[in-house]
Structure 1
Amino acid sequence: MTGPAEHEVLRLQLVEERDVFVARQRGREVAAAVGLENQDQVRVATAVSELGRELVLRGRRTEIVLSLAGGIVPALLVTARWAGELPGLELTEGVRSAGRLADRCEVTQSAGGGTAVLGKRLPAGTDPGRPGVIEGLRERFRGTTTSSALEELRVQNQELLSTLEVLQARQEALEEANAELEETNRGVLALHAELSGELDETNRGVVALYAELDEKSDQLREASESKTRFWANVSHELRTPINSVVGLAKLLLDPRSEPLTGEQRTQVEMIRDSGAVLLALVNELLDVAKAESGRMEPQWAPVDVGGQLQHLRATLLPLTPPGVALEVAVPERTPPVSTDPGMLTAIVRNLATNALKFTTSGEVRITAAFDPGAGLLRVAVSDTGIGIPADQLGRVFEEFHQVPGPLQVGAAGTGLGLPLARRLAEILGGSLALSSEVGVGTTATLQLPVSGPATAVARLGRVLVVDDDPAFRALVRRALHGVAERVDEAGDGATTVRLLHAEPPDLLVLDLHIPPPDGRAVLAGMRADPVLAALPVVVVTSADLDPAWTAEMAASAVVLSKANLTAAVLLTAAADAARLVGGTDG
């Protein structure tokens, strides 16, 4: 990959000591002409002088070229070339001093000769490639003569005096700040002495409180574990005999068994139905125990939501009371959702069974809708039943709690259906909420992520994460774990530019507020570079963005807020950014 274009402004020859003097003067003049501040002008002039002095002292005829380099970060370049090898040149005091004064210092040598390049960043907004800029500079320095040694000495003395004045002002400001700090420290020490006693007393109380909290936490944990073990053990022990009761009842009712009288058949059917209800309640208890103990792990798989809900409707139709319609509405051509099909069915079945149980007329409707922007599937189960009073709405997710009412008397249940449904929704990374009005009906809304876990998303190649906050870079790295083949990091704009040109990544995650050049300048330079123009970019920021700038950026990058950043949102944004620069609709 070739670097940014370089535009020569001035060429000099160094043969003797006077030529070093001339190079120093020209370096300062060119630095001033391209807009560098006074201190940077002095740095450039001194760096040229130190480098030239080392070369002339070694008796090498040297060519000095002053040029401007374009690209994302424009710079003033000083390039020195000589014939023959100079071992150890880069370790000399002059070259090391020049390196400290410049933003860039590179020395390369071979048997045929060597090159030294010094670089100084130009002010933001400088465009060396703009028509007329280079020609104007060349015309300005064509045929100019150097001043006398005394005049150059006067200029250097002025520079030294100016530097000394700046240092004197800083020294006075530092002494004033030290005096203020000393006064502040006296106040802080007095305040510290006053607060130490109160803090010690508070600490003793906090330690005692923590000890009490630890004891209570241990007791609560033991109680929770005992409850979970009790549910699991009791449910397991009950399920075996209940299965036997249900199986024997079915065997007695089998047409191939001995014929029963009408009364006997009625009683056996009651035994069978009661056993089936009891078995369902025991299974519900066992599921809750598994969920609480953390033993329920989702089995992720693509799920046809429409087909799943239609199949569930068919199994629930026998439970539908007379005068109540059970309907399912799912948009056509809905994409598959990555989730656990068994858990999804269990959640919706619990919600629909509750709705059918407390609806005597009207309908129970199950609807599904997708929100591509949020990456969510929403399943709503609404009914025209008796509704839930406002003072009970917050308690329906408590285990074993049942809303008192006339329909509750004849309805079998443990009060575990809704708590289990919410727990399963959380295991799948979603949420479950209820809204209700007495006499009008109830709506339960399930929200699940469309994409499932990050491992279900297509892999990315190399990702470059740019942010000056190491903690945020670590957060993004964790979000991309198992998805990106390689994650590189940068904390400032200069490093970002270097990495982009050295090895363009497959995706750039870019913060706007980074050490210069900032994220806006980096993005603008990328889009102007033919090699980097098609690189997908996801901009992440905590700042309030200007709407006009955001709308303009939407054509070249996807913008996310740090406050809403999750692994699923980041991966979705990466796919959108790739489609954006690729010019496809996805």
Structure 2
Amino acid sequence: MNGPTDPPPVRLDTMPVAAVQDTFALRRSACAVADLLGADSQDAVRLATALSELGRGVLGADRLTAAFSLRPGPVPALLVTLAWQGGHQLPAEALEASARLLPTHHEHTREGGRVRVEQRLGPALDPDPDLVDRARRLLAAHTGPSALEDSREQTRDLIAALEKTRAQREELRRLNAELEETNRGVLALYSELSGELEETNRGVVALYAELDEKSRQLREASEAKSRFWANVSHELRTPVNAVVGLAELLRSDADVPADERDHRLSLIADSGRTLLALVDELLDVAKAESGTLEPHWAPLDLRAVLSHLDGTLRGQARPGVALRIGPPPPAALLGDETMLTQILRNLLSNALKFTEQGWVGLDSRVEDDPDGRRTLVLTVTDTGVGIPPDQHERVFEEFYQVKGPHQRGRRGTGLGLPYARRLTEILGGTLHLDSAPGHGTTITVRLPADPAPADGPRRELLVVVDDDAAFRDVLRPLLHEFADRVVEVGDGTTAHAAVREVRPDGIVLDLHLGEVDGYRVLAELRADPELRHIPVVVLTSASLTAADRGRLAHARAVLSKSGLTGGRIAAALSDPRPAAPRRPRPPEDGS
């Protein structure tokens, strides 16, 4: 249908359709004219096919003609109208077939009928007189071919249509392949961006975890500082007040009897010695914390150490409490006699302080490892009040004391157990506590009996795993004191693979590494049959619970990051792997 401003159709020609050959000519004419006017080849084939179906459907109708016209304008089209007179009916099948191919308009009255098909021609087309004249000549030149020629023509048209369809299918396949490739690129980019976002999220989570850990450490440091001032001020004030008060009494009372004067002077001396011992204890802890304490390895006379402890500590036992120090093992040992004496004195003094009845015992033995190294095992056992499980690690915090009625009348700074553990670690050993309320306490100290000194045999290769580059800079020269080569790993994720690749002589492992921490790295090494024999020393700046230390049982030692020296790390790596602590049987009376 024409719009209100469209130009009227231009008539091209009208041809009669009276016989079968005329339908062949109609088909060929329509195809040729459509091609001339710029229609696509497939569109020309569709037009010819539709007219062939319609022509056969109305063939035999009275005065059947086919009129061709050109509709110019912005949407040009070739119009072909079949018209006839009389009551001939167009079969529905032919009309349906034509409508599937092209827009088809059908009208029927008593006088006759007509059907029109439209084939669009593409871009805007003006009714050029030359083009119109050529179309008219083309229609006049076509005469009806034979059925064989028409069949061949249809076959050629069909082949051409199939070839074009195949080409379009190949083009569609190519476009689909390009689209799939684009989709794969988009998916890869999405996956990469998702991975980066996930990695960023993990980093943020790890940062928050690290901040939480730092906050916890700051709170613990603040609590430790508060305990320090509270305990030290109390412990210092008591002997100082005694000295000042007794001195004032002596000065104000010149006529005091000689025996009373001597008694007061002895009390002043006792208070001074108490004050001096407290200051010495604080200085010792400060030295241990600063890392200025170094073990001096020498032949160890363990019998003399035990005899000295028995003589100096027996007087601290309460009435009804026996101090039982067993004989030393018959073996030549190496060690630091001063540090060992300080460790055992602190442990025994603490046990005697909180044991009201029963006994306090010290046993010693030497264990041999399959690799030929020996371990000195010292066990301090008491029948005292015991320590609740949730306090097992807190008693190793400076100035911390378990609250309860057992504290009444028992003076102390809360430095004994932390100092003993710190000295044990300096010697490359471990200290383990086993206790329960009402069942006493057992502390097991394991020390290397013949450790390699820092200037002893060198190690060829060490692996250090720490995510803090600044701390690795500090640690590197310490490790080079006794190792020829140091391989640094900056995270726990690649630690296991790095150790498998280089097969080091020892591993120095940071505990807090982010997503894959030192606990997991140590577990992976322990589970690997080819790597479990490599000695591991764990470094940490955090306070550990009993459960934490249990997870680190495979490590040779757990050392604090503060005050590290090459000698301490070398000694810890040379220490035989500690076995699980066990509670000894009580010694017999008189042993």
Interval of TM-score (by shorter of Structure 1 and Structure 2): 0.3 to 0.5
Q: Name which structure has the greater RCO, CA cutoff 8 Å, separation 6+.
A: 2
> Structure 2 length normalisation: TM-score?
0.41
Q: Which of structures 1 and 2 has the bigger CA Rg?
A: 2
> Structure 1 length normalisation: TM-score?
0.42
